[in-house]
Amino acid sequence: MIYSKPPMKQSWKNAPVRDFECVVCGGLFSAKREAKYCSSNCHDRARYARRGQPSSEKRKKWYRNRVKKPEYLKRLRSQGRRRHRVVQKFIRAYKTKAGCFDCGYKKHHVALDFDHVYGSKKLNVCNAKSIAQAEKEIKKCVVRCSNCHRVKTYRRLQRKGTKVSE
């Protein structure tokens, strides 16, 4: 049985540029392929019109007005505070469970710090907005008590040749 090659698809690299009219705004534009819209903005406007949804301008206006409402801001703040409490509770539990890497201290979470020793530091662990973000940053850290952390940092800076005050 003899197989023939399938026909080659048309390459758009060498296709001539033609002029088209945008179906939304009526503007003329040039393209190599058959096209209906002159920009992504016109494409979005047509898509929202098909779905019966408000345009992007109306949605932006709605969001701007929504942010000004005090009850919405109050709800956002309460959600943020709740999320912060959950993340902080996770961080405290992690620090007390792990204890100091050097001396083993684990009596109180306030006396324990995260020492970034692996990779590059993107944020302080206490400023994480979610548990997932905190875990990602904790992977780069070792838990140390405040005293051990200060001593390790002092020695690390001395080795680098940074001038450190006593």
pLDDT band at 128 (very low <50, low <70, confident <90, very high): very high
The pLDDT assigned to 74 comes to 93
Q: Is the pLDDT of residue 125 over 70?
A: yes
Contact 88, 95 (CB under 8 A): no
pTM of the model: 0.60
The pLDDT assigned to 160 comes to 81
Which residue, 122, 134, 123, 144, is CA-closest to 87? 134
Mean pLDDT of the region 3-8:
66
Q: Is the pLDDT of residue 144 over 80?
A: yes
Per-residue pLDDT tens over the stretch 32-68: 788 888 888 888 888 888 877 777 778 788 888 888 8
- Between the alpha carbon of residue 26 and those of residues 35, 57, 98, the distances in Å are 13, 19, 65
pLDDT band at 8 (very low <50, low <70, confident <90, very high): low
pLDDT band at 89 (very low <50, low <70, confident <90, very high): very high
Q: How many CB atoms lie within 10 A of CB 145?
A: 22
Distance CA 34, CA 10 (A): 13
The pLDDT assigned to 9 comes to 65
Four-residue CA torsion sign, 83, 84, 87, 89:
negative
Output the six-digit token pair for 4. Answer: 């023939």
pLDDT band at 105 (very low <50, low <70, confident <90, very high): very high
